[in-house]
Structure 1
Amino acid sequence: MSGTGHGSEQPGGSYGALGPVEAAEGAKVVPHAPLPRRGLTRRQWYALAALLLAGGTLLVARHAADRPAQAANSPPPYPVQVSGFSYGGQLREAAPGGHEFTLRVLATATGPFPYEIVEAHQSYRGITTTVVGTALPRTVEPGRQVEFDVVYLVTDCAAAPRDAGLPFLDVTLRNTRAIQTVSQILGDGYARDLSRNLHITCPDSGIRT
Protein backbone atom coordinates (compact mmCIF):
# COMPACT_ATOMS: atom_id res chain seq x y z
CA MET A 1 0.00 0.00 0.00
CA SER A 2 1.27 3.34 -0.90
CA GLY A 3 0.60 6.76 0.61
CA THR A 4 1.96 9.25 3.13
CA GLY A 5 2.37 7.85 6.57
CA HIS A 6 2.37 9.69 9.91
CA GLY A 7 6.10 9.39 10.04
CA SER A 8 6.82 11.03 6.71
CA GLU A 9 9.37 13.82 6.67
CA GLN A 10 8.00 17.30 6.46
CA PRO A 11 9.78 20.34 5.08
CA GLY A 12 12.30 21.62 7.58
CA GLY A 13 13.23 18.19 8.87
CA SER A 14 10.53 17.83 11.56
CA TYR A 15 8.31 14.88 11.94
CA GLY A 16 4.63 15.01 12.79
CA ALA A 17 4.69 18.72 13.88
CA LEU A 18 1.35 20.27 14.81
CA GLY A 19 0.60 23.89 14.10
CA PRO A 20 -1.29 26.28 16.40
CA VAL A 21 -4.86 25.46 17.10
CA GLU A 22 -7.10 28.05 15.50
CA ALA A 23 -10.68 28.79 16.36
CA ALA A 24 -13.22 27.11 14.28
CA GLU A 25 -14.92 29.18 11.68
CA GLY A 26 -17.67 31.28 13.16
CA ALA A 27 -16.47 30.82 16.76
CA LYS A 28 -15.90 33.91 18.98
CA VAL A 29 -13.06 34.27 21.50
CA VAL A 30 -14.33 36.11 24.57
CA PRO A 31 -11.60 37.54 26.91
CA HIS A 32 -12.03 37.16 30.66
CA ALA A 33 -13.79 40.25 32.00
CA PRO A 34 -12.44 41.74 35.30
CA LEU A 35 -14.45 40.97 38.36
CA PRO A 36 -16.60 43.89 39.54
CA ARG A 37 -15.15 45.81 42.54
CA ARG A 38 -17.31 46.09 45.59
CA GLY A 39 -17.19 49.35 47.58
CA LEU A 40 -16.84 49.53 51.36
CA THR A 41 -20.06 49.23 53.29
CA ARG A 42 -21.10 51.91 55.73
CA ARG A 43 -20.14 49.70 58.64
CA GLN A 44 -16.67 49.19 57.16
CA TRP A 45 -16.26 52.96 56.69
CA TYR A 46 -17.19 53.52 60.33
CA ALA A 47 -14.71 50.87 61.46
CA LEU A 48 -11.92 52.42 59.37
CA ALA A 49 -12.67 55.93 60.68
CA ALA A 50 -12.67 54.68 64.27
CA LEU A 51 -9.32 52.96 63.71
CA LEU A 52 -7.74 56.10 62.28
CA LEU A 53 -9.13 58.21 65.12
CA ALA A 54 -7.78 55.82 67.74
CA GLY A 55 -4.34 55.86 66.11
CA GLY A 56 -4.26 59.67 66.01
CA THR A 57 -5.36 59.93 69.66
CA LEU A 58 -2.64 57.49 70.73
CA LEU A 59 0.01 59.48 68.84
CA VAL A 60 -1.05 62.80 70.43
CA ALA A 61 -1.12 61.24 73.90
CA ARG A 62 2.35 59.86 73.41
CA HIS A 63 3.74 63.28 72.41
CA ALA A 64 2.00 64.91 75.40
CA ALA A 65 3.50 62.33 77.74
CA ASP A 66 6.98 62.96 76.34
CA ARG A 67 6.81 66.75 76.84
CA PRO A 68 6.96 66.82 80.69
CA ALA A 69 9.90 64.42 80.63
CA GLN A 70 11.74 66.64 78.16
CA ALA A 71 10.98 69.76 80.24
CA ALA A 72 12.18 68.04 83.41
CA ASN A 73 15.47 67.11 81.78
CA SER A 74 16.15 70.54 80.24
CA PRO A 75 18.27 73.02 82.27
CA PRO A 76 16.68 76.19 83.73
CA PRO A 77 17.37 79.59 82.14
CA TYR A 78 20.48 81.55 83.11
CA PRO A 79 19.91 83.56 86.32
CA VAL A 80 20.17 86.89 84.51
CA GLN A 81 17.23 85.81 82.32
CA VAL A 82 14.85 85.32 85.28
CA SER A 83 15.92 88.19 87.58
CA GLY A 84 14.69 91.75 87.95
CA PHE A 85 16.03 94.62 90.07
CA SER A 86 14.62 98.06 90.87
CA TYR A 87 15.30 100.96 93.22
CA GLY A 88 13.43 100.93 96.52
CA GLY A 89 14.35 104.42 97.75
CA GLN A 90 16.68 106.10 100.20
CA LEU A 91 16.74 104.84 103.78
CA ARG A 92 19.40 107.07 105.32
CA GLU A 93 20.85 110.23 103.86
CA ALA A 94 24.47 111.20 104.41
CA ALA A 95 24.96 113.64 107.28
CA PRO A 96 27.06 116.77 106.64
CA GLY A 97 30.64 115.77 107.31
CA GLY A 98 29.69 112.10 107.41
CA HIS A 99 30.73 109.40 105.01
CA GLU A 100 27.84 106.92 104.89
CA PHE A 101 24.35 106.69 103.41
CA THR A 102 21.97 103.77 102.72
CA LEU A 103 19.85 102.96 99.66
CA ARG A 104 17.37 100.11 99.21
CA VAL A 105 17.24 97.68 96.27
CA LEU A 106 14.36 95.36 95.34
CA ALA A 107 14.85 91.96 93.65
CA THR A 108 12.20 89.80 91.99
CA ALA A 109 12.05 86.58 89.96
CA THR A 110 10.61 87.35 86.53
CA GLY A 111 10.00 83.70 85.65
CA PRO A 112 8.99 80.42 87.30
CA PHE A 113 12.54 79.65 88.42
CA PRO A 114 14.29 80.77 91.64
CA TYR A 115 17.81 82.17 91.84
CA GLU A 116 20.22 83.37 94.52
CA ILE A 117 21.76 86.78 95.12
CA VAL A 118 25.34 85.99 96.09
CA GLU A 119 26.83 89.49 96.26
CA ALA A 120 26.05 93.14 95.46
CA HIS A 121 28.56 95.97 95.25
CA GLN A 122 29.28 99.34 93.66
CA SER A 123 32.32 99.40 91.38
CA TYR A 124 33.15 103.13 91.69
CA ARG A 125 36.61 103.86 93.00
CA GLY A 126 36.59 105.65 96.35
CA ILE A 127 33.36 103.94 97.50
CA THR A 128 32.88 100.65 99.33
CA THR A 129 29.52 98.97 99.87
CA THR A 130 28.05 96.58 102.39
CA VAL A 131 24.73 94.73 102.09
CA VAL A 132 22.63 94.84 105.27
CA GLY A 133 19.06 93.88 106.12
CA THR A 134 19.41 90.35 104.71
CA ALA A 135 22.09 87.69 104.73
CA LEU A 136 23.68 86.75 101.43
CA PRO A 137 23.38 84.47 99.60
CA ARG A 138 19.61 84.99 99.53
CA THR A 139 17.16 83.00 97.42
CA VAL A 140 14.58 84.93 95.41
CA GLU A 141 11.50 82.75 94.91
CA PRO A 142 8.99 83.25 92.08
CA GLY A 143 6.16 85.55 93.11
CA ARG A 144 8.06 87.01 96.08
CA GLN A 145 10.07 90.21 96.42
CA VAL A 146 13.35 90.44 98.31
CA GLU A 147 14.57 93.75 99.78
CA PHE A 148 18.18 94.39 100.65
CA ASP A 149 19.86 97.59 101.78
CA VAL A 150 23.21 98.80 100.53
CA VAL A 151 25.37 100.95 102.84
CA TYR A 152 27.71 103.21 100.87
CA LEU A 153 30.93 104.31 102.56
CA VAL A 154 32.91 107.03 100.81
CA THR A 155 36.60 106.36 101.41
CA ASP A 156 38.15 108.78 98.92
CA CYS A 157 36.33 111.88 97.70
CA ALA A 158 38.96 112.55 95.03
CA ALA A 159 38.31 109.14 93.45
CA ALA A 160 34.55 109.09 93.97
CA PRO A 161 32.41 110.46 91.11
CA ARG A 162 30.89 113.89 91.60
CA ASP A 163 27.85 113.11 89.47
CA ALA A 164 26.59 109.59 88.84
CA GLY A 165 24.58 110.15 85.69
CA LEU A 166 24.08 106.49 84.82
CA PRO A 167 25.15 104.48 87.87
CA PHE A 168 24.81 100.75 88.12
CA LEU A 169 25.03 98.12 90.82
CA ASP A 170 27.01 94.95 90.20
CA VAL A 171 25.18 91.85 91.41
CA THR A 172 26.36 88.25 91.37
CA LEU A 173 23.56 85.75 90.73
CA ARG A 174 23.47 81.97 90.88
CA ASN A 175 21.14 79.08 90.09
CA THR A 176 21.60 75.41 89.21
CA ARG A 177 22.75 76.31 85.71
CA ALA A 178 25.32 79.09 86.15
CA ILE A 179 26.77 81.88 88.27
CA GLN A 180 26.83 85.33 86.66
CA THR A 181 27.88 88.86 87.61
CA VAL A 182 25.87 91.54 85.84
CA SER A 183 25.52 95.32 86.09
CA GLN A 184 22.02 96.50 86.99
CA ILE A 185 20.93 100.04 86.06
CA LEU A 186 18.39 101.02 88.70
CA GLY A 187 16.91 104.13 87.07
CA ASP A 188 16.77 107.89 87.52
CA GLY A 189 15.74 107.84 91.20
CA TYR A 190 18.78 105.79 92.14
CA ALA A 191 21.10 108.07 90.12
CA ARG A 192 19.62 111.20 91.71
CA ASP A 193 19.89 109.96 95.32
CA LEU A 194 23.40 108.61 94.80
CA SER A 195 24.65 111.89 93.31
CA ARG A 196 23.03 114.00 96.04
CA ASN A 197 24.59 111.93 98.81
CA LEU A 198 28.00 112.09 97.16
CA HIS A 199 27.75 115.90 97.03
CA ILE A 200 26.82 116.00 100.72
CA THR A 201 29.63 113.66 101.67
CA CYS A 202 32.24 115.24 99.43
CA PRO A 203 31.78 118.99 98.94
CA ASP A 204 33.31 120.50 95.84
CA SER A 205 36.43 121.44 97.79
CA GLY A 206 37.88 118.04 96.80
CA ILE A 207 39.28 117.41 100.30
CA ARG A 208 39.97 113.74 100.94
CA THR A 209 37.97 112.12 103.73
Structure 2
Amino acid sequence: MSGVGPVEPGPGTRAWDRTRPSARQHPQLEPLTRAFTRHRRAALASLTAAGVLAGAGYLHATRPERPASAPPPYPSRVTALIYLNPQVRTPQTEKRSFRFDALISVESGPPVTVIRISQPYAGLSVISTPPTPFRTKAGSPRKITITLRVTECGKVPQSAGLPFLDVTLRNARAIQTHSFILGARYAQDLSGVLQVACSNESR
Protein backbone atom coordinates (compact mmCIF):
# COMPACT_ATOMS: atom_id res chain seq x y z
CA MET A 1 0.00 0.00 0.00
CA SER A 2 1.34 3.36 -0.94
CA GLY A 3 0.58 6.71 0.54
CA VAL A 4 1.60 8.91 3.37
CA GLY A 5 0.52 7.83 6.82
CA PRO A 6 0.11 9.99 9.98
CA VAL A 7 3.17 11.93 10.88
CA GLU A 8 4.72 10.61 14.06
CA PRO A 9 6.10 13.21 16.42
CA GLY A 10 9.78 13.25 16.70
CA PRO A 11 11.72 12.94 19.95
CA GLY A 12 11.42 15.96 22.19
CA THR A 13 8.33 17.35 20.44
CA ARG A 14 5.72 16.32 23.06
CA ALA A 15 4.96 18.57 26.03
CA TRP A 16 5.97 15.93 28.52
CA ASP A 17 9.19 15.40 26.60
CA ARG A 18 10.22 18.99 27.30
CA THR A 19 10.39 18.49 31.07
CA ARG A 20 13.68 18.57 32.90
CA PRO A 21 15.38 15.17 32.84
CA SER A 22 15.04 13.35 36.10
CA ALA A 23 17.77 11.79 38.12
CA ARG A 24 16.53 8.39 37.02
CA GLN A 25 17.12 9.29 33.41
CA HIS A 26 20.56 10.65 34.34
CA PRO A 27 21.96 8.75 37.30
CA GLN A 28 25.02 10.99 37.32
CA LEU A 29 22.78 13.92 38.42
CA GLU A 30 21.35 12.16 41.48
CA PRO A 31 24.05 13.37 43.96
CA LEU A 32 23.61 16.96 42.76
CA THR A 33 19.84 16.69 43.11
CA ARG A 34 20.11 15.48 46.71
CA ALA A 35 22.55 18.26 47.58
CA PHE A 36 20.28 20.88 46.04
CA THR A 37 17.29 19.53 47.96
CA ARG A 38 19.17 19.61 51.29
CA HIS A 39 20.40 23.15 50.61
CA ARG A 40 16.90 24.34 49.74
CA ARG A 41 15.40 22.86 52.94
CA ALA A 42 18.11 24.44 55.11
CA ALA A 43 17.60 27.82 53.44
CA LEU A 44 13.81 27.65 53.95
CA ALA A 45 14.26 26.68 57.61
CA SER A 46 16.63 29.63 58.17
CA LEU A 47 14.24 32.07 56.51
CA THR A 48 11.32 30.78 58.59
CA ALA A 49 13.27 31.13 61.86
CA ALA A 50 14.41 34.64 60.91
CA GLY A 51 10.82 35.64 60.16
CA VAL A 52 9.59 34.31 63.51
CA LEU A 53 12.32 36.17 65.42
CA ALA A 54 11.72 39.35 63.48
CA GLY A 55 8.01 39.15 64.23
CA ALA A 56 8.67 38.58 67.94
CA GLY A 57 11.06 41.53 68.02
CA TYR A 58 8.49 43.74 66.32
CA LEU A 59 5.81 42.78 68.81
CA HIS A 60 8.16 43.45 71.71
CA ALA A 61 9.16 46.81 70.28
CA THR A 62 5.59 47.93 69.62
CA ARG A 63 4.04 46.62 72.85
CA PRO A 64 3.43 49.63 75.14
CA GLU A 65 5.35 49.48 78.40
CA ARG A 66 3.46 49.83 81.66
CA PRO A 67 3.98 53.25 83.19
CA ALA A 68 6.00 53.18 86.39
CA SER A 69 3.84 53.76 89.46
CA ALA A 70 4.32 57.17 91.02
CA PRO A 71 5.88 57.22 94.51
CA PRO A 72 3.69 58.30 97.43
CA PRO A 73 3.61 62.04 98.18
CA TYR A 74 5.80 63.53 100.90
CA PRO A 75 3.86 63.61 104.18
CA SER A 76 4.31 67.35 104.70
CA ARG A 77 2.61 68.07 101.35
CA VAL A 78 -0.60 66.22 102.15
CA THR A 79 -0.99 66.85 105.89
CA ALA A 80 -2.80 69.84 107.38
CA LEU A 81 -3.07 70.98 111.01
CA ILE A 82 -5.83 73.48 111.82
CA TYR A 83 -6.34 75.35 115.08
CA LEU A 84 -9.92 74.90 116.28
CA ASN A 85 -10.43 76.58 119.64
CA PRO A 86 -9.02 76.78 123.16
CA GLN A 87 -10.70 74.73 125.81
CA VAL A 88 -12.77 76.70 128.28
CA ARG A 89 -10.77 77.84 131.27
CA THR A 90 -12.25 77.53 134.76
CA PRO A 91 -11.05 78.66 138.18
CA GLN A 92 -9.64 75.18 138.59
CA THR A 93 -7.62 75.40 135.39
CA GLU A 94 -3.92 75.67 136.04
CA LYS A 95 -2.89 79.16 134.99
CA ARG A 96 0.37 77.90 133.48
CA SER A 97 -1.40 75.56 131.08
CA PHE A 98 -2.95 76.22 127.70
CA ARG A 99 -5.08 73.46 126.20
CA PHE A 100 -6.61 73.66 122.75
CA ASP A 101 -8.15 71.44 120.07
CA ALA A 102 -6.79 71.03 116.58
CA LEU A 103 -7.75 69.06 113.51
CA ILE A 104 -5.19 67.02 111.61
CA SER A 105 -6.03 65.64 108.18
CA VAL A 106 -4.34 63.84 105.30
CA GLU A 107 -5.40 64.85 101.81
CA SER A 108 -4.27 61.78 99.88
CA GLY A 109 -1.80 58.91 99.77
CA PRO A 110 -0.91 56.36 102.43
CA PRO A 111 -1.59 56.93 106.14
CA VAL A 112 0.59 59.46 107.96
CA THR A 113 1.96 58.82 111.43
CA VAL A 114 2.55 61.77 113.76
CA ILE A 115 5.76 60.86 115.55
CA ARG A 116 6.35 64.00 117.60
CA ILE A 117 4.85 67.42 118.32
CA SER A 118 7.02 70.23 119.68
CA GLN A 119 7.29 74.03 119.63
CA PRO A 120 10.19 76.51 119.51
CA TYR A 121 10.07 77.98 123.03
CA ALA A 122 12.39 76.33 125.55
CA GLY A 123 10.11 77.36 128.46
CA LEU A 124 7.08 75.42 127.14
CA SER A 125 6.37 71.71 127.23
CA VAL A 126 3.98 69.95 124.82
CA ILE A 127 1.81 66.89 125.22
CA SER A 128 -0.99 65.64 122.97
CA THR A 129 -4.09 63.52 123.27
CA PRO A 130 -3.87 60.95 121.78
CA PRO A 131 -0.21 60.70 122.68
CA THR A 132 2.31 60.39 119.89
CA PRO A 133 2.84 58.37 117.83
CA PHE A 134 -0.61 58.14 116.25
CA ARG A 135 -1.80 57.61 112.70
CA THR A 136 -4.21 59.50 110.45
CA LYS A 137 -5.64 58.14 107.19
CA ALA A 138 -6.56 60.05 104.07
CA GLY A 139 -10.17 61.18 104.15
CA SER A 140 -10.50 60.68 107.93
CA PRO A 141 -9.66 63.96 109.76
CA ARG A 142 -8.73 63.47 113.38
CA LYS A 143 -9.38 65.81 116.26
CA ILE A 144 -6.53 66.05 118.76
CA THR A 145 -5.98 68.01 121.96
CA ILE A 146 -2.68 69.74 122.60
CA THR A 147 -1.59 71.01 126.00
CA LEU A 148 1.18 73.58 126.37
CA ARG A 149 2.55 74.17 129.85
CA VAL A 150 4.85 76.98 130.94
CA THR A 151 7.85 75.43 132.66
CA GLU A 152 10.09 78.50 132.83
CA CYS A 153 8.81 82.03 132.34
CA GLY A 154 12.26 83.42 131.55
CA LYS A 155 12.36 81.29 128.38
CA VAL A 156 9.02 82.26 126.88
CA PRO A 157 8.13 85.55 125.17
CA GLN A 158 5.65 87.96 126.75
CA SER A 159 3.74 88.01 123.46
CA ALA A 160 3.88 85.23 120.90
CA GLY A 161 4.17 86.99 117.56
CA LEU A 162 3.90 84.10 115.09
CA PRO A 163 4.01 80.84 117.05
CA PHE A 164 4.10 77.49 115.29
CA LEU A 165 4.21 73.81 116.08
CA ASP A 166 6.92 71.48 114.79
CA VAL A 167 5.34 68.17 113.81
CA THR A 168 7.38 65.15 112.73
CA LEU A 169 5.49 63.13 110.14
CA ARG A 170 6.12 59.76 108.57
CA ASN A 171 4.55 57.85 105.71
CA ALA A 172 5.67 55.25 103.15
CA ARG A 173 7.71 57.92 101.32
CA ALA A 174 9.72 59.75 104.00
CA ILE A 175 10.06 61.16 107.52
CA GLN A 176 9.81 64.95 107.73
CA THR A 177 9.53 67.63 110.39
CA HIS A 178 7.20 70.39 109.27
CA SER A 179 6.42 73.71 110.98
CA PHE A 180 2.67 74.42 111.07
CA ILE A 181 1.67 78.06 111.59
CA LEU A 182 -1.73 77.96 113.25
CA GLY A 183 -2.76 81.55 112.55
CA ALA A 184 -3.39 84.86 114.30
CA ARG A 185 -6.12 83.56 116.63
CA TYR A 186 -3.79 80.94 118.01
CA ALA A 187 -1.10 83.59 118.54
CA GLN A 188 -3.51 85.81 120.46
CA ASP A 189 -4.80 82.98 122.65
CA LEU A 190 -1.29 81.77 123.45
CA SER A 191 -0.04 85.29 124.23
CA GLY A 192 -2.90 85.78 126.67
CA VAL A 193 -2.03 82.57 128.50
CA LEU A 194 1.66 83.48 128.69
CA GLN A 195 0.90 86.90 130.14
CA VAL A 196 -1.37 85.40 132.81
CA ALA A 197 1.04 82.58 133.62
CA CYS A 198 4.08 84.81 134.04
CA SER A 199 2.49 88.09 135.19
CA ASN A 200 3.94 87.77 138.71
CA GLU A 201 7.28 86.37 137.58
CA SER A 202 10.40 88.46 137.19
CA ARG A 203 12.13 87.95 133.85
TM-score normalised to structure 1 length: 0.61
Letter in structure 1 aligned against 2:79: S
Contact 1:82–1:113 (CA under 8 A) maintained in structure 2? no
Aligned pair 1:77/2:73, yes or no?
Answer: yes
Match of 2:111 among 109, 114, 129: 114
Partner Cα separation in structure 1 for residue 162 and residue 80 of structure 2: 18
Aligned pair 1:142/2:132, yes or no?
Answer: no
Match of 1:127 among 99, 124, 128: 124
Letter in structure 1 aligned against 2:160: A
Letter in structure 2 aligned against 1:161: P
Contact 1:92–1:101 (CA under 8 A) maintained in structure 2? no
Deviations along 1:67-88, one digit per CA (max 9) or x if unpaired, are: 3xx22xx421111111111101
Letter in structure 2 aligned against 1:87: Y
Runs of 4+ in 1 over 4 A off after TM superposition: 94-97
Partner Cα separation in structure 2 for residue 116 and residue 207 of structure 1: 40
Partner Cα separation in structure 1 for residue 144 and residue 76 of structure 2: 18
What's 1:14 paired with? none
Deviations along 1:21-66, one digit per CA (max 9) or x if unpaired, are: xxxxxxxxxxxxxxxxxxxxxxxxxxxxxxxxxxxxxx7x946xx2
The 1:159/1:168 distance shift into structure 2, 3 A limit, reads same
SS of match in other structure, 1:103: strand
After superposition, the CA RMSD in angstroms is 2.5
How many aligned positions are there?
A: 143
Matches within 5 A, 1:1-209: 62=64, 66-67=66-67, 70-71=68-69, 74-93=70-89, 98-132=95-129, 134-203=130-199, 205-207=200-202
Give the C-alpha shift of residue 136 in structure 1. Answer: 2.0
Partner Cα separation in structure 1 for residue 152 and residue 90 of structure 2: 15
- Of residues 91-100 and 193-202 in structure 1, the stretch that sits farther from structure 2 once superposed is 91-100
- Of residues 170-179 and 111-120 in structure 1, the stretch that sits farther from structure 2 once superposed is 111-120
> Which structure 2 residue ranges, 5 or more long, are not aligned?
1-61
Partner Cα separation in structure 1 for residue 89 and residue 119 of structure 2: 17
Partner Cα separation in structure 1 for residue 89 and residue 126 of structure 2: 15
What's 2:20 paired with? none
Partner Cα separation in structure 1 for residue 167 and residue 83 of structure 2: 14
TM-score normalised to structure 2 length: 0.63
Contact 2:73–2:109 (CA under 8 A) maintained in structure 1? no
SS of match in other structure, 2:157: coil
Letter in structure 1 aligned against 2:155: A
SS of match in other structure, 2:191: helix
